[in-house]
Structure 1
Amino acid sequence: MLGKIRLENVRLYGFHGCLKEEEMIGSDYRVDLEVTADLSAASRSDRLGDTVDYVHLQSIIREEMAIRTKLIETVAARILDRVLEELPAVKSAEVAVSKINPPIGGDVQQVTVCLHKNRD
């Protein structure tokens, strides 16, 4: 039985961006991650070892968001790569990385990049 595990609205502070100010001052970010996996064993056993540990997922998000990059596309791709590399039960994953109040010269709440990747 395939199911989904979602981490929603993981809030972080980071220093991503192409502008020198973004590197120095930083800004708020939001990450949403959804993974698809076979959850049938976990639904019967009630054992953490039979599911995708969402603490591990959050650790991946936090570690990758801590690495400064110019583009949030790069951060999103690294998160997906690690999820599929480190968690063999995951069949596919989708991540959305949002920069809150981006410095783009207008009243914009956030800019979001969404990437999806399937296990090969």
Structure 2
Amino acid sequence: MGIIQVNNIKLHAFHGCLEEESKIGSEYSIDVQVVADLRKSARTDKLSDTVDYVHLNHVVKEEMAIRSELLEEVAQRILNRLFKEIRKIKKAKVSVAKINPPIGGNVEEVVVILTKKR
């Protein structure tokens, strides 16, 4: 087994419960970690034998573009799609962080982390 991580994917999106969040949006940082059997790709040096991190990034960007009220729902959608589209994934963790959330205080970020296993 092995781990592939795509860290600190920076995006602007429009998630949140407040009306102004749907209009002006916020900055987000997303981390994806997947566990897969990487022994074959380590031997063959072939992209087809591994989990393509370009695909991971693509899924995150597409799912973040779909508005949700809760970060939990966004993270779950990302996980569901990863498992549907990439059969090699055995386990995954997705972290979605909203930078400078509008919660009435000096808060750097709020983060939702979800995991899923096959």
TM-score normalised by length of structure 1 = 0.98
Deviations 1:13-54 (A, max 9, x none): 000000001000101000000000000000000000000000
Distance 2:55 2:31 in 1: 14
Helix, strand or coil for the counterpart of 2:81? helix
List alignment gaps of at least 5 residues for structure 1: none
Residue 76 of structure 1, CA deviation: 0.0
Helix, strand or coil for the counterpart of 1:104? coil
- Percent identity, aligned pairs only, is 54
List alignment gaps of at least 5 residues for structure 2: none
Partner of 2:10: 11
Helix, strand or coil for the counterpart of 2:114? strand
Which stretches of structure 1, 4 residues or longer, exceed 3 Å deviation after superposition? none
Helix, strand or coil for the counterpart of 1:6? strand
Distance 2:78 2:23 in 1: 23
TM-score normalised by length of structure 2 = 0.99
Distance 1:82 1:67 in 2: 13
Helix, strand or coil for the counterpart of 2:2? strand
Distance 1:100 1:75 in 2: 15
